[in-house]
Amino acid sequence: MEVNTIVDPLPVSKAQSSARPRKKSIVWEHFTLKTLDPRCSKAYCKQCGKEFAYITDSKQIGTSHLKRHISLGICQKNQSKISASGGDAAAYPQKKRARASPCIASISFDQECCNNNIAKMIILHDYPLHIVEHQGFINFVRTLQPQFNPLSVNTIKGDCVSMYLREKQNLLNLINEIPGRVNLTLDLWTSNQTLAYVFLRGHFIDSDWNLHKPILKVMVLPFLDSDNSLNQAIVSCLSNWHLEGRIFTLALDKFFSNETVIGNLRGHLSVKNPVLLNGQLLSKNCYARVLSRLALDALFAMTETVSKVRESVMYMKSSKYHESKFFELKQQLQVPGMVDLLIDEQNKWDTIYHMLVAACELKEVFACFDAFDPNYKTTLTMDEWKQVETLHTHLKYLYDAANILTVQPCPTANLFFPTVSKLHMQLANATFSQDPFCSSLITPLQVKFDQYWRESCLILAVAVAMDPRYKMKLVESTFAKIFGENAELWIRMVEVGLHELFVEYIIQLLPPSSKNAEEGNGAMLKTELLTLSSSSTTNDDEGDEFMIKVAPLMLTSTATNGDEGNKIKIEACQEGSIDGSLFAAEDELSDIEYYLSDFTGNYQFNSELNEYLEEHLEPNVEEFDVLSWWRVNGLKYPTLSRMASDILSMPVSTVSPESVFDTETRKMDSYRSSLDPMTLEALICTKDWFLHESLPIDLPNGFSSSF
């Protein structure tokens, strides 16, 4: 190719020479610049002769494309030379201007931030506090950050407590803003020491209709039943969390069933909290532990047979040889079972259930295995296998009923009535079985569960009535099946309970002046149970007698049908009086009637509750979200929605989801028992708050279905 000028490299012209300095880029050691005319120059590779544009129409293109040609090995001749010499293409060309790389050391190290993250790690993963003094941990962190200063146990303990106090303040701010009340549960842990650990957990719905269940207090008590320490700790906790006068229900277990303890609890709580439904919202039975006790009773009745199944399974799982021989025999017998053999955990009754299910599916293989392996001595007769099948069939009822606590992290109270009533009917039907073994096995369980049902059905029915898919319809149909000709009495109990609660909420929303005008009226409004008469509440003799039993302190409502509309008129009945004599003069109640009418805007007899119950049912779909429904309909039912938020957040179980199938009370390990109460509470509570802060806002409420 003929060219005009060859330079190495020089400016294009004299005019450019004075304005442009000599080229300093290292690419010119590998390229030659050739000027074709004053407005165009090209660069040519010295190795392969390929040309590249450099100046076009007096615009300089630059050298990036030239560098890529050399450094990326695009030049064929250059690449062949590198390969022949065994060099690295990335190292060519040799002379290369060093480019500044990010300097990690230039980033400032924040020791305080590092300490906070270590504290959060310890809290979330239950690491011991003294991990910060382990040399392996120190070496690891210093490898990542040489400027890290090791921490002492006291320092990290202080960081954990400080984190707890910050998170506690955030939770306290949330609780102070909720419109409704808080439900409480008490759960008991033991230890190797003579100490009891009581977990006080709050359950509530916030203003956005999100369900929360944080641990509020971890109480370390020396003797649970011997003194008033539990009551004092609870009262102190309520004051600390600003919950005086804001408690709706308290659920505990039979571990706290000492009548003195229960009486003291009821007395302390009723001082500032209204005793609703004649005290029936103080529950003494944990749903999960009731089911666990029934499962243990059934397993205990068949201890020897269950032990033989366990020994058989353990023999097959004791070696690969036995297991392979077992499944070889299974294939020969063409047993269709697809499950694997499972070894149970004896402190988890669901694992025992799964072990029995798997063993029963392979019972033919077990029955023949002694001929296949002479060392196998533990054999069950066919009658024993039949009994095991009966056992696991009815354990499945308990397992399905308990699963509602594990499938959803925060089940609302409306979900339990259909599950509990279904289990009640299943056990009742089993007692009439033609199989004498089945009847004898299940009858004791049914008797115990029937007691739980009768103590809890009111609370559960009130909760399911707050589900717009069912309202009172499910209660009516279920009670008709369970109670037969006495169903009407039980249905009326639920109706009375709903009306009592509703009027209680109306009174709580009255202006303070109307409730506290006179001390007598204020005490009456805070402590008496109220009942509204409705179209479904008749006044027959049987009903009147029942009303007196359920609500000794009773306010009845009457309706006047004047031209101005139906208004609520409340008449008070004296405590224990059957003749209906007035508790107070009529003029003393006129203020109440006036405020009720004024507060509700001429509140008609057809109240929010009646209107809600009479409206059509919502479609029964699995993905229905009861909390979202009440969020949307809160403006339509302002008083009833506040009542619904407290009812739907009522806890039925006191234990955490991972403890639902436990057969023993959970035990605090020796390390945590050695911690001082403040540090222990900080670690447990903060972990619980961290774990639950990421739960979904809206949880499905379909019926299909640790710390």
Quick one: pLDDT at residue 517?
46
Residues 180-228: pLDDT tens digits? 999 999 998 988 888 889 999 999 999 999 999 999 999 998 765 555 7
Least confident range from 23-27, 473-477, 519-523, 571-575: namely 571-575
Nearest CA-CA partner of 196 in 214, 217, 221, 177: 221
In a domain, 530, yes or no: no
Q: Does residue 644 have a pLDDT over 60?
A: yes
Residues 260-278: pLDDT tens digits? 677 777 777 776 776 565 5
Across 10-21, average pLDDT: 45
Across 377-403, average pLDDT: 93
Same domain, 338 and 248: no
* 3-state SS, residue 527: helix
Least confident range from 49-63, 229-243, 558-572, 584-598: namely 558-572
Quick one: pLDDT at residue 168?
95
Quick one: pLDDT at residue 481?
94
Quick one: pLDDT at residue 280?
60
Q: How open is the CA angle 247-703-409, to the nearest 5 degrees?
A: 55
Least confident range from 30-44, 76-90, 456-470, 622-636: namely 76-90
Same domain, 242 and 309: no
End position of a domain, from candidates 377, 407, 437:
407
In a domain, 297, yes or no: yes
Residues 358-367: pLDDT tens digits? 999 999 889 8
In single-letter form, the type of residue at position 334 comes to: Q
Q: Does residue 684 have a pLDDT over 60?
A: yes
Quick one: pLDDT at residue 437?
94
In a domain, 549, yes or no: no
Residue-wise burial string across 435-451, b where 16 or more C-beta atoms lie within 10 A, e elsewhere: eeebeebbbebbeebee
Across 324-332, average pLDDT: 88
Quick one: pLDDT at residue 551?
37
Highest mean pLDDT among 32-41, 106-115, 324-333, 343-352: 343-352
Q: pLDDT class for 51, splitting at 50, 70, 90?
A: confident
More confident of the two residues 420 and 269? 420
In a domain, 396, yes or no: yes
Same domain, 331 and 222: no
Q: Does residue 74 have a pLDDT over 70?
A: no
Same domain, 126 and 253: yes
Quick one: pLDDT at residue 413?
94
Question: Alpha-carbon distance 669 to 625, whole Å?
Answer: 39
End position of a domain, from candidates 374, 407, 440:
407
Nearest CA-CA partner of 707 in 681, 683, 688: 688
Same domain, 64 and 118: no
Q: pLDDT class for 643, splitting at 50, 70, 90?
A: very high
Across 83-97, average pLDDT: 44
End position of a domain, from candidates 8, 42, 71:
71
Across 236-254, average pLDDT: 88
More confident of the two residues 574 and 110? 110
Across 374-385, average pLDDT: 88
Across 516-520, average pLDDT: 46
Q: Does residue 4 have a pLDDT over 70?
A: no
Write out the H or E segment, with its range, that includes residue 554.
strand 554-562
Quick one: pLDDT at residue 522?
43
Quick one: pLDDT at residue 591?
46
Task: Judge residue 532's burial from the number of C-beta atoms within 10 Å of its C-beta, 0-12 exposed, 13-18 middle, 19 or more buried.
Answer: buried
Same domain, 262 and 290: no
Quick one: pLDDT at residue 63?
78
In a domain, 504, yes or no: no
Highest mean pLDDT among 15-24, 254-263, 508-517: 254-263
Same domain, 217 and 352: no
Joined tokens for residue 27: 């690419």
CA distances from 22 to 7, 17, 95, 256, 615 (A): 11, 8, 18, 93, 91
Q: How many domains does the chain have?
A: 3
| pTM of structure | 0.72
Same domain, 119 and 48: no
Quick one: pLDDT at residue 215?
95
Quick one: pLDDT at residue 298?
96
Q: pLDDT class for 306, splitting at 50, 70, 90?
A: very high
Quick one: pLDDT at residue 226?
53
Q: pLDDT class for 393, splitting at 50, 70, 90?
A: very high
Quick one: pLDDT at residue 18?
44
Quick one: pLDDT at residue 613?
93
Tell me which DSSP letter residue 667 carries. B
In a domain, 367, yes or no: yes
In a domain, 610, yes or no: no
Q: pLDDT class for 590, splitting at 50, 70, 90?
A: very low
Identify how many contiguous H helices and E strands the chain contains and give both numbers. 27, 14
Quick one: pLDDT at residue 90?
42
Q: pLDDT class for 514, splitting at 50, 70, 90?
A: low
Q: Does residue 339 have a pLDDT over 90?
A: no
Residues 660-683: pLDDT tens digits? 999 988 899 999 999 999 999 999
- Computed over every residue of the chain, the mean pLDDT equals 77
Phi and psi, residue 596, nearest 5°: -60, -45
Question: Alpha-carbon distance 241 to 685, whole Å?
Answer: 14
Same domain, 170 and 260: yes
Least confident range from 155-169, 237-251, 496-510: namely 496-510
Same domain, 328 and 354: yes
Alpha helix locations (H) across 466-565? Answer: 473-483, 487-508, 512-515, 519-527, 541-550
Same domain, 264 and 120: yes
Same domain, 125 and 209: yes
Phi and psi, residue 557, nearest 5°: -115, 140
Quick one: pLDDT at residue 225?
55
Domain that includes residue 146, residue range: 111-278+675-696
Quick one: pLDDT at residue 224?
59
Quick one: pLDDT at residue 164?
96
Alpha helix locations (H) across 180-319? Answer: 229-240, 259-270, 287-301, 303-317
Q: How open is the CA angle 223-229-232, to the nearest 5 degrees?
A: 165
Quick one: pLDDT at residue 546?
42
In a domain, 214, yes or no: yes
Q: Does residue 371 have a pLDDT over 80?
A: yes
Across 266-291, average pLDDT: 73
Q: Does residue 381 have a pLDDT over 50?
A: yes
